Amino acid sequence: MKILVAGKNGQVGQSLVSILEQQEEVTFLALGREELDITDISQVSKCVSSFKPDVIINAAAYTAVDNAENEIEAAFLVNRDGARNLAIAADEHDAAILHISTDYVFAGDSSGLYTELDTESPQNVYGRSKQAGEQQVRESCERHIILRTAWVFSEYGNNFVKTMLRLAQSRKSLGIVADQFGGPTYAGDIAHALLSVAHSIYNRKAKFGVYHFSGFPYVSWHEFAQVIFQRALERGIISTPITLTQLTTKEYPTLASRPANSKLNCQKIFEQFAISQSDWRLQLQQIEKYQ
């Protein structure tokens, strides 16, 4: 099987490369923005035509949620147009596309878990750009799988876990939002899920469409932070406990509005591919790797 990875320098992209380097049965080409500008359809077409992948994994995205409110064109250029270009190239060269999307396509104002069939109603520019990307992928390539995930963290790049550990070096107390809920998801587990799906596609066993994959159990950002600092204390990364204060979303205003409920129902991906939800607590046991 041949896999083309776009966005190799992101959290999921770096996780994919780390795993793919250990898989002798897979030939892969992983490219970053400098090597493959997904917003350039001519460049994308030439790359796909030359490499001839069986599966394209789109791990490239504009993810600066707050900045997107003022950089609308840039967000849509990558998240909508870039996704479309990769999907078109996949369709033209008989490849399948695995496209990563987000919980932010939902308003987050309902109770319970969001399923793949629930109505999309993004509340910020980033979410709208990702929703537009999903639509372009659906329309441009019949052999597509859209994987929505949430609250991504890893040893790579910038994320909530690394931010908390950094702040712990200089702060004795922190206020953390306690009225937004979701499933923290380890990027390495997203990568494993994507590759499992890719193998199913290659073996002609995949059912195409939209799937959810996120971590479990569901928690607030405040609860997530509590576990992070508990692990850090246990592993000697910090020497004294951090005092955490619960904040409401109104008390911690951001440029872009965030969903209050980002809980994704992941039953469909389990039923189709036997992929279970990521256990983020397990992934925090070796918390020193996130420093």
Catalytic residue annotation? 126
Question: Shortest CA distance to 257 belongs to which of 132, 129, 123, 149?
Answer: 123
What span, in angstroms and rounded, lies between the C-alpha atoms of 255 and 285?
A: 33
What span, in angstroms and rounded, lies between the C-alpha atoms of 291 and 190?
A: 20
Question: Shortest CA distance to 216 belongs to which of 279, 153, 285?
Answer: 279
Burial class for 154, CB neighbours closer than 10 Å (0-12, 13-18, 19+): buried
What span, in angstroms and rounded, lies between the C-alpha atoms of 276 and 139?
A: 28
What span, in angstroms and rounded, lies between the C-alpha atoms of 62 and 188?
A: 19
